[in-house]
Amino acid sequence: MPRDLFQGLKDHIIFDLDARRVYESQVVSRRRVLDIGGRNAESISASNINTLKKDVESTVICTDILPEYKPDLVDDICQTAVKPETFDGVYCVAILEHVKEYWKAIDNIHEILKPGGEAFFYVPFFYPFHDEMDHHRFTFAEVARMLEQFSEIKLLLPGPDSGYGYVFWYLNTLAAIRKAPRLHTFLTRLFNAALKVVLYPVYRLNPRSYTFSEFCFFYTHLAVNHGFCAWVKK
């Protein structure tokens, strides 16, 4: 039996490289949103939410485990004091790698959401060790598994300029490429385009049950990426 590159998850994967912004905006535009680990209203997380949200009247509550960040609510999502079914949306970006028992955090997020509520996640995969508490890395298959209690799951890419090329230049410059984001974007796209050229003869030598585009998508964006996103609905 031929190998299933997508681990039975093809129907959950959004192949559109620009899909993140659409789903992210949808979640942060819900009436009442919990920004987990978002520090405070002056943080990068809050700035992203304000840029993305469509409903200016939606309420965003920022939480953090550290009181010195002065969040709206000091809270540990693994032992949350937030009452069940009190939020329409949950924003959880670059947080689950920093908690030891991320499955407890996910269970609590499920409880916090109202029926029909939505959540948006980002977790790292190929990403350097960072912060004092950095415990986990997540494959796209693990993202789907850990969120399976939700009624709907969509797996998304972190952005159009991600994938193997992004990781290659980020790691091989020891993150120095961050100082030149336009150059990073250019080199990422160049690398990913060159990778397709290399993959074509490999694909032709062994005809697959999936298209060349799908073959490239897996090796460029799923097999190697700095992280993955997910949209879920309770």
For the segment 147-161, what is each residue's pLDDT rounded down to a tens digit?
A: 999 999 999 999 999
Domain count of the fold of the chain: 1
- 96-120 per-position pLDDT tens digit: 999 999 999 999 999 999 999 999 9
| Distance separating alpha carbons of residues 51 and 65, to the nearest angstrom | 24
Identify the pLDDT of residue 2: 65
Model confidence, pTM: 0.94
Candidates 117, 150, 104, 122; CA nearest to 230 is 122
With respect to residue 171, please indicate whether it lies within any of the assigned structural domains: no
What are φ and ψ of residue 163, in 5° steps?
Answer: 95, -165
> What is residue 92's three-state secondary structure?
strand
The rounded distance, in Å, linking the Cα atoms of 195 and 164 is 9
175: left (phi over 0), alpha (psi -120 to 50) or beta: left
Domain extent at residue 106? 10-160+227-233
Asked if residue 92 is part of any domain, the answer here is yes
Q: Which residues of the chain have pLDDT under 70?
A: 1-2, 207
Residue 197 counted as domain residue: no
Cα–Cα distance, 204 to 55 (Å, whole number): 48
**What is the CATH classification number for the domain harbouring 72?**
3.40.50.150
pLDDT digits (tens, 9 = 90+) for 88-102: 999 999 999 999 999
Tell me the two tokens of residue 117. 């509520």
